[in-house]
Amino acid sequence: MFTARQIFAQVQRRGFAASARQSSKVTVLGAAGGIGQPLSLLLKLNPRVSQLALYDIRLAPGVAADIGHINTKSEVRGYDPTPSGLAEALKGAEIVLIPAGVPRKPGMTRDDLFNTNASIVRDLAKAAADHAPEANILIISNPVNSTVPITAEVFKSKGVYNPKRLFGVTTLDVVRASRFISQIKGTDPANENITVVGGHSGATIVPLLSQSGVNLEGEQLDSYVRRVQFGGDEVVQAKDGAGSATLSMAMAGARFAESLLKAAQGQKNVIEPTFVDSPLYKDQGVEYFASNVELGPNGVEKIHPVGKITDHEQKLLDVCLKDLAGNINKGVKFVKENP
């Protein structure tokens, strides 16, 4: 039997343990880039982050010196572009975000980035598997449909793959989906929660309006779906050769990291859409798929099924699955041929 005093002491200790868990190291690889800088800024503003480790092949110590002056409690450190700098940046990380790699220019698809970004992500994944094998790995670098399988293959080859801790960040698709529908309906996007499933490029992005009680038809529905699927192209064209979405992506990446931290720190019912190793369409040869995922202290807690959809949405999903299988196989093949 415990005395009231002992119970109180235990509660206090648990309180401390909870706040100890609330000290989390977050690492950004590609931290000096168009996404990396604002993403690092937003992470510095997040009180759940205790240490922020910034790594890039250029400028990370400069970005860290700048962000480090912001008067929030977390410690910020920038690392030199050396193997030991990368190792130090990764050691002890709870979350590793990877926005390293080249962005699109007008006229390119995300798949056109494969030749450059596949090897960048493969090499960073190798370092993460060696120095942060238990971290949650959040892949932002495109093409996400292929870079997630690339990362999985690297982790598998090193014997440390945990499918519950690898995430393709597709948050920007749902951010756009809710913003674009709010523009049509004249509502507050904060109240618009649109499910988006599939992958993260063109036809593999499938918004499921019917599940949100929104009833668009004909050309209005088609143009909405097109805008969500090709929202990235809208930004690429507007930036006219100077890159792709960076600021909205930073917000989306920071939101996803925040959700993981909340879930790790004990919050229940934290659900985000994300591209993960998923049982939903494995029987059709699609090993990874984005759907709503409940997050928990171990990463993926529960993968939600797609649920009831309309015939129109089923047609979109059929096209998505075909494209997705090709993108995934390309990533797997790359690592097998270029280990």
Ligand X SMILES: NC(=O)C1=CN([C@@H]2O[C@H](COP(=O)(O)OP(=O)(O)OC[C@H]3O[C@@H](n4cnc5c(N)ncnc54)[C@H](O)[C@@H]3O)[C@@H](O)[C@H]2O)C=CC1
CA distance 37 to 44: 11
Residue nearest to ligand OAA (CB): 232
x/- mask, ligand OAA, residues 134-163, rule CB under 6 A, reads --------x---------------------
How buried is residue 186: exposed, middle or buried, by Cβ count under 10 Å (0-12/13-18/19+)? exposed
* Nearer to ligand OAA (CB atom), residue 172 or residue 303: 172
The count of C-alpha atoms lying within 13 angstroms of the C-alpha of 185, restricted to the half-sphere facing its C-beta, is 19
176 labelled binding-site residue: yes
* Nearer to ligand OAA (CB atom), residue 75 or residue 234: 234
Query: Smallest gap, in angstroms, from Cβ of residue 212 to ligand X?
Result: 21
Query: Smallest gap, in angstroms, from Cβ of residue 248 to ligand OAA?
Result: 7
Among 44, 110, 122, 131, the residue binding ligand OAA under the rule CB under 6 A is 110
Integer-rounded Cα radius of gyration of the chain: 20
Give the binding-site size for ligand OAA (rule: CB under 6 A).
10
Is 97 within 8 Å of 60 (Cβ atoms)? no
249 labelled binding-site residue: yes
* Nearer to ligand OAA (CB atom), residue 172 or residue 309: 172
Query: Smallest gap, in angstroms, from Cβ of residue 1 to ligand X?
Result: 54
Q: Is 312 a catalytic residue?
A: no
Is 148 within 8 Å of 163 (Cβ atoms)? no
CA distance 254 to 6: 40
Long-range contacts for 279-282 (Cβ within 8 Å, ≥24 apart)? Answer: 279/303, 280/305, 280/306, 281/321
**Partner whose binding site includes residue 64, from ligand X, ligand OAA, none (CB under 5 to 8 Å by kind):** none
Site for ligand OAA in 214-253 (CB under 6 A): 232, 235-236, 244-245
CA distance 170 to 250: 12
**Partner whose binding site includes residue 36, from ligand OAA, ligand X, none (CB under 5 to 8 Å by kind):** ligand X
308 C-beta neighbours (distance < 10 Å), count: 9
Query: Smallest gap, in angstroms, from Cβ of residue 214 to ligand X?
Result: 23
CA distance 135 to 151: 13
The gap between the terminal CA atoms of the chain, to the nearest Å, is 58
241 labelled binding-site residue: no
* Nearer to ligand X (CB atom), residue 144 or residue 328: 144
So which residues are the catalytic ones? 200
Contact residues for ligand OAA, defined by CB under 6 A: 103-104, 110, 142, 172, 232, 235-236, 244-245
Which residues line the annotated binding site? 30-36, 56, 104, 110, 117, 140-142, 176, 249
